[in-house]
Structure 1
Amino acid sequence: MFDTLAQGSEEKLSASRELRVCGAALTVLAEGALWWEAERMLVVADLHLEKGSAYAARGIALPPYDTRTTLARLDALMRRFAPARLVALGDSFHDRDAESRMDEADAAALGALTAQTDWVWITGNHDPVPPRRFGGTVMHELRTGPLTFRHEPQPAPASGEIAGHLHPCAAVRVRGRRLRRRCVASDGTRAIMPAFGAYAGGLNVLDEAYENLLPASGFHAWMMGARSVVPVAAHRLEGD
């Protein structure tokens, strides 16, 4: 059903699609990440590690495996692309105490990942001071070529911005059935990335939170299925 979103396209559906932001060719991955081949850079946003344990501490029972699941997905991408640099766009940890609640096996797995590449932690509102235990470089934002990587999107124009924070998702109706998926939202001058974390939710791209970030009808939602990525024009989307 999801693949029918690409009706009329001559391109074969795949687990990734190319997106251009200010001339930079980025590959949108169905896993919820971006790959910048020219820089050998893998980009993820909003891992929210230890969100499950944070909820459990407040009496909300969730299976305590979100960190392990998120790291396993990240490890698979690392093995696939062998990036020279990985950029995590903030809110990588759900709160300042996430490190103390992390299982030692998960902590070791994260440390092994950060040791494999030039790892950059962009600071977020949930983790303004990412733990130093896991290595990597902490930055407020990173500028590379025409692109600026930061956590929270800035009001337009923000040319070349790659950000997270809002956990974008999109909804579309196909053959009478409503489909809602994570997405990268982009108008070609910027891209807002979905949350990569296993327990992270999503905010519809038609929500008022995006009003000063994306043109009302001049953007696409690069919607992600299990095995495909489909760009859908804003005028085809529907709100929640």
Structure 2
Amino acid sequence: MHAEPTGALWLPEPHVLVVSDLHFGKSDRIARRTGTLIPPYENLETLNRLDADITRLDPKTVICLGDSFDDLDGVEAFDDTNRATLTRLQAGRKWVWIEGNHDPGPVNLGGTHVAEYSIGSVAFRHIASAAVPEVSGHYHPKHGIAGKGRQKPCFIYDKSRLILPAYGAYTGGLSATHPDLRGLFDARAIAVLTGPRAIALPLTAPKLSSAKLGR
């Protein structure tokens, strides 16, 4: 499995591209629920990023690890241009929408809709569980190099579990050393920072309680 600098996960042998937490329609949800208006460009930016990864890697299968939309009403706000772009990206390949806690998968946008998906012994799901090996998302992990600027979205992995960063343009994040995240991994866990290039570094904070596993 290759951690791409963009935040996508690439499995070269089965030609599978995995992305998590696209959160299409977040600006629309914020406007509906709070009245706060922010530039509504996250759908286009996220689709353009996904288009570039698909063009570069040409996957046979694309897996979206849940929370593809910020809520179900966001599907209705997906305009014709966005829909046309997504349809083009789906053409000629298998597309798997995994259920997230924000949405059960955009059922009217093509593809296959499942609670989780497996490749060999590895399960792909939205939220980490006690059943490993697994690949998941949900937490939007971020990490940084001490003394060298702000935290960046990151992958976190150990010998049995991998959590992807959020791929969507308008997404916050949770520090990789937060107890809810750090407690999911063993002492040798590695973070891979996204950006112009992928940078791997150890998570050096001590392991914390894993009592919240699968919450």
Residue 11 of structure 2 aligns with which residue? Answer: 36
Aligned length: 205
Residue 231 (structure 1) aligned to one of 193, 200, 206: 200
Q: 1:207 to 1:94 in 2, by over 3 A?
A: same
Deviations 1:94-132 (A, max 9, x none): 10111111221112211222223100000001112x232
Counterpart contact for 2:97–2:113, Cα < 8 Å: yes
Q: Gaps spanning 5+ residues in structure 1: where?
A: 1-25
Distance 1:218 1:116 in 2: 40
Percentage identity across paired residues of the two chains: 37
Residue 9 of structure 1 aligns with which residue? Answer: none
Check if 1:152 corresponds to 2:123. Answer: no
Check if 1:133 corresponds to 2:108. Answer: yes
SS of equivalent residue, structure 1 residue 70: helix
SS of equivalent residue, structure 2 residue 144: strand
Residue 168 (structure 1) aligned to one of 137, 141, 155: 141
- Structure that is richer in strand per residue: 1
Deviations 1:159-178 (A, max 9, x none): 220000000111221xx434
Letter in 2 for 1:182: P
Distance 1:200 1:172 in 2: 20
Q: So what's the TM-score if we normalise by structure 1?
A: 0.81
Residue 222 (structure 1) aligned to one of 186, 189, 192: 192
Check if 1:190 corresponds to 2:161. Answer: yes
Letter in 2 for 1:101: A
Letter in 2 for 1:144: I
Counterpart contact for 1:170–1:223, Cα < 8 Å: yes
Residue 27 of structure 2 aligns with which residue? Answer: 52
Residue 77 of structure 2 aligns with which residue? Answer: 101
Deviations 1:25-58 (A, max 9, x none): x111000000001110000000000101111222
Letter in 1 for 2:202: A
Check if 1:210 corresponds to 2:181. Answer: yes
Counterpart contact for 2:99–2:114, Cα < 8 Å: yes
Distance 1:64 1:178 in 2: 27
| Displacement over 6 Å in runs of 4+ | none
Distance 1:75 1:234 in 2: 31
Letter in 1 for 2:145: V
1:1-80 mapped onto 2 (5 Å cutoff)? 26-57=1-32, 58-80=34-56
Distance 1:177 1:159 in 2: 34
Counterpart contact for 1:115–1:135, Cα < 8 Å: no
Larger relative contact order (CA 8 Å, sep ≥ 6): 1
Residue 211 of structure 2 aligns with which residue? Answer: none
